[in-house]
Amino acid sequence: MKVLFVYPRFRRHAECHPELLDVVPMNEYLGSPSLGIACLAAMTPPDWEVELRDDRVVPADRPTDADLVAISFFTPAATRAFELARWFRAAGKPVVAGGIFPTMMPEATAPHVDAVVIGEGEGSWRRILDDAREGRLAPRYGCDERIDPATLPPPRIELYLEAEHDRFRPDDYPVQISRGCPLSCHACVLPTSMTRALRLFPLDHVIDQLDRLGGAGKLACLTEDTSWLPGRARNHLAALFERLVERGGRASISYVGTSMPMLLLAPPALLASAKRAGIDMFYLVGGFDPITMKAFTGRDPQALARAEEAIARAHDAGIEPYTSFLLGLDDDDEGTVDRILEFAVRTGLRKAEFAVFTPYPGTPSWHRLLAEGRILHHRWHEYNDANVVFRPARMSPEKLQGEYLRIWRDFYAGRAASLASLPREQRTIQF
Ligand code: B12
Ligand code: SF4
């Protein structure tokens, strides 16, 4: 038996707005696929052959001898995923769909596929393969048990490494430290897609993946801001940093994800330990938390001061803050972009990315904007943080779109020289 995993293409910022390539110093185009496929491949019994098609590199709609096609996608890839599902079904292949979009929008996914999988796939994958073997896929699968990360095999990241290619050679691949989140930030899918139960991967599991990536000449990105939640998660992160320090402080890590509130809550000793462990960059997610939601509205000087303090903390620790700004939140107005640009100069930011706020299906914001009649359309390929898909509160959709283009240009105009002193992988703007 054979399963064909398909990762559908989606449009990155630069594809939607190629004119930005003239000003943004971007040296990497395609990032890693999400870890979902590698996680399921690791759970696939040996009597199933596994193949991966990354549709971003070579179009996936080609004949296959697979017995089952498994498509993994998040919202920006949903339009293409449905196209591919129709193509494979027309070729007589059963199609199962999983990932963030099918989890959040099973009703919208179901008409295009044979089976929709909700939530963490490890809980139902073996059952799906057994049912596919017997030709009796159920229309829907869910994960009844809570997945314990300690029981999971390491993701089969080799599948991605083997697929590398001149057009697909990411500097880094994600490594998960935890799953689930007990909070419920307005724009985030994770508490639903991965449940609200925060669960930690054993340190040996994390270190094994760092070593495997390091051995292949790759960096790891530790993407989860949840790792910084005070208590169990943060103690775990501290223990990971200490293990890395003991091993010589040369962790092959491109960046560690966090947010301004988490950075402010972190004890200085933890930041110092991150630096000693070999961490040189934070990826600071913005627009989900109370500080960055208010700091650039011109009406909350306290939030602005906290934001400045957060950047100073990263700089004091000697860790570059790669900051992500979300534009178009309800309190943002036509002055927001100028305030962010001034903030960037004042705080000495060298590297930032800008995203249009996007109400992803199933998030608290999606439900609110839907109820307020402010969702403009369901063209999922435009739900990629580079297009305005909702009606902003304090400006027109056209104005917001223009401000998004302007901030990318104005931020990077004149910054190329200062970025040039960073190592190649740190100069990368993934957009
Ligand atoms: C690495 C990453 C990327 C990578 C890879 C893309 C991808 N497909 O995820 C890159 C860098 C390309 C990327 C880009 C973007 N990303 Co991103 N990214 C992530 C990140 C940090 C990790 C993904 C991951 O590996 N997760 C771990 C795996 C194990 O989880 P999983 O994919 O959900 O898989 C599990 C289940 O879903 C299920 N499953 C998955 N597939 C399948 C298939 C089958 C058949 C089955 C049975 C089950 C199944 O089982 C898996 C194991 O349990 C997540 C946050 C997160 N922690 O998930 C955000 C996240 C996926 N990204 C997000 C967004 C918004 C983006 C951008 C639009 C952001 C931006 N600022 O531009 C861009 C995309 C387009 C663009 N404009 O450039 C959102 C998605 C929101 C949504 N509703 O879709 C997330 C959730 C972040 C967030 N909190 O909002 N991202
Ligand atoms: S943004 Fe981070 S802290 Fe907020 S709900 Fe999502 S994962 Fe949790």
Instruction: Considering every ligand atom shown, identify the ligand nearest to the alpha carbon of residue 286 and give its number.
Output: 2
Residue 100 Cα to ligand 1 midpoint, Å, equals: 7
* Pocket lining: 72 vs ligand 1, CB cutoff 6 Å: yes
Cα torsion through 332, 334, 336, 338, rounded to 10: 180
pLDDT of residue 166: 85
Kindly list the distances between the CA atom of residue 100 and the CA atoms of 81, 188, 363, in Å, as whole numbers in the listed order: 12, 11, 11
Cβ–Cβ contacts within 10 Å for residue 166, how many? Answer: 6
Give me the pLDDT at residue 27, please.
63
- The residue among 268, 204, 263 whose CA lies nearest residue 239 is 204
70 lines ligand 1 (CB under 6 A): yes
Neighbouring CB atoms inside 10 A of 240's CB total 24
Whether residue 185 has its Cβ less than 6 Å from ligand 2: yes
Q: Which ligand approaches the C-alpha of residue 120 most closely?
A: 1
- Range in 25-34, 135-144, 257-266, 313-322 with the lowest mean pLDDT: 25-34
Which DSSP helix (H) or strand (E) runs through 88? Answer: helix 78-90
Query: Which token pair is 99?
Result: 């990932």
Q: Confirm or reject: Cβ of 356 under 6 Å from ligand 1.
A: no
Residue 23 has what pLDDT? Answer: 86
Which atom of ligand 1 is the closest one to the Cα of 223? 21
**Degrees, nearest 5: CA angle 167-172-175:** 135
Ligand 2 neighbour 181 (Cβ under 6 A): yes
Query: Could you give phi then psi for residue 70, rounded to 5 degrees?
Result: -115, 115
> CA–CA separation, 425 vs 406, rounded Å?
25
Average pLDDT of the residues in 233-246: 98
pLDDT, one tens digit per residue, over 266-293 is 999 999 999 999 999 999 999 999 999 9
Report which of residues 399 and 429 the model is more confident about.
399
User: Which residue in 263, 270, 271, 174 sits closest to 224, CA to CA?
Assistant: 174
Which ligand 2 atom is the nearest neighbour of the CA of 229? 3
Which ligand is closest to the CA of 408, given by its number? 1
Cite the beta strand spans of 195-340 per DSSP E: 199-200, 219-222, 253-259, 281-285, 320-327
Calculate mean pLDDT across residues 374-403: 98
* Residue 159 CB–ligand 1 contact under 6 Å: no
Pocket test for ligand 1, best of 34, 39, 48 (most atoms within 8 A of CB): 34
Helix (H, G, I), strand (E, B) or coil at 325: strand
Asked if 98 and 121 count as a contact pair (C-beta separation under 8 A), the reply is yes
**Which atom from ligand 2 is nearest to the alpha carbon of 182?**
8
CB hemisphere CA count around 219 (13 angstroms) = 24
Report whether residue 225 contacts ligand 2, using a CB cutoff of 6 Å.
Answer: yes
Residues 114/67, Cβ–Cβ less than 8 Å? no
Confidence at residue 174, expressed as pLDDT on a 0 to 100 scale: 96
The answer to whether 1 touches 45, Cβ cutoff 8 Å, is no
292 alpha carbon, closest ligand: 2
Structure tokens given for 243: 């293990």
pLDDT of 26 > 80? The answer is no
What end-to-end distance do the CA atoms of the chain give, in Å? 38
* Residue 227 CA to ligand 2 centre (angstroms): 10
What percentage of the chain exceeds 90 in pLDDT? 88
**CB burial readout 364-375, b (16+ within 10 A) else e:** ebbeebeeeebb
Is 221's C-beta closer than 6 angstroms to any atom of ligand 1? no
> How far, in Å, from the CA of 289 to the mean position of ligand 2?
8
The tens digit of pLDDT for each residue in 142-178 reads 987 789 999 999 999 999 999 998 888 888 999 999 9
Q: Is the CB of 188 under 6 A from ligand 2?
A: yes
Distance of CA 306 from the midpoint of ligand 1 (Å): 29
Euclidean distance between CA atoms 305 and 313, whole angstroms: 12
Q: Ligand 1 within 6 A of 123 CB?
A: no
**Residue 209: band (very low, low, confident or very high) from pLDDT cuts 50, 70, 90:** very high
- Encoding tokens for residue 245? 């320090």
Encode pLDDT of 44-74 as tens digits.
999 999 999 999 999 999 999 999 999 999 9
Enclosing H/E stretch for 69: strand 68-72
> What does the block give as tokens for 47?
């009597």
Average pLDDT, the chain: 95
Q: Tell me the residue ranges of DSSP E strands in 99-175.
A: 115-118, 140-142, 172-174
Which uninterrupted H or E stretch holds 347? helix 336-347
Tokens of 277: 């462990």
Lowest mean pLDDT among 3-12, 17-26, 89-98: 17-26
Ligand 1 centroid – CA 101 distance (Å): 9
**C-alpha distances out from residue 431 to 89, 120, 172, 350, 377, Å:** 32, 27, 14, 16, 23
Q: What global pTM score does this model have?
A: 0.97
Proximal ligand: closest to the CA of 181: 2
